[in-house]
Amino acid sequence: MQYRNLSLLGKDEEKTREKSVEDFDTELGFIEANSELFLETFKILSKDCYKRFTYSEDATYRISYRIFRIVRCAISSSLEGYYDVTTALLRIAYENHLLMHYLSENEDEAKLWFEGKRFAPNFVRKKVSYSSDSLYQEMSECIHSSFKSTSLFYHNRERQNKSRGWGIRQGKMRTSDTTCSHDVGNDCDLAIIEVSSRAYAE
């Protein structure tokens, strides 16, 4: 990226986006297909049946909509080369995903959530069996602006070709069978992580 002026930066963003689309055609096709499925799950919200939702079901759909919006932003920033920003967004999506799963299985807690109760991320991570502390810590590097997060994306081409990213995909997330939104959101997150971890450098 060239940061001398906005014109050069804009050209680099466009160039990176074009290269990303070219190099990650399969991954992006996967994301697009799953995004369409995600949108299908929201159609039910325009029907009267949503009024009969339990607290858990209502919470699931509300949070899944938020996750979808966050992941869409992550896609855009990833394609333009802002991989650290993408990772920070993915941590937010991951926290929301775990909360959604927890509330989907706990009706009483979902009711309290609607009444204003907040659930700390560390509490939810302990409650959801498949949560990954290692994945969470990797993504947290970009939230807290550690030295690691500020140096990760300054590799030259030779070094990057050897390392090909920083291995955030090692923290496997298991999908949930509770709702379609869980599965699709989880798949999209993993695909974005894959694109982001294989950074393109000029």
The reported pLDDT for the residue numbered 148 is: 74
Q: Which of 44, 79, 38, 40 is nearest to 187 (CA)?
A: 38
How would DSSP label each residue in 149-182? Answer: HHHTT---HHHHHHH-S--GGGSPPPP-SS-HHH
**Splitting the chain (202 residues) into consecutive groups of 10 residues, what average pLDDT does each group show?**
81 90 88 83 67 88 90 91 88 93 96 96 91 84 78 49 34 34 46 44 37
The reported pLDDT for the residue numbered 1 is: 65
Domain ranges within the chain, ordered by starting residue: 14-197
Q: Looking at this protein, which amino acid is placed at residue 51?
A: K
Q: Which of 46, 47, 41 is nearest to 67 (CA)?
A: 41
The reported pLDDT for the residue numbered 95 is: 93
Please give the model's pTM, rounded to 2 decimal places.
0.72
The reported pLDDT for the residue numbered 157 is: 39
How many Å apart are CA 174 and CA 118, to the nearest integer?
Answer: 24
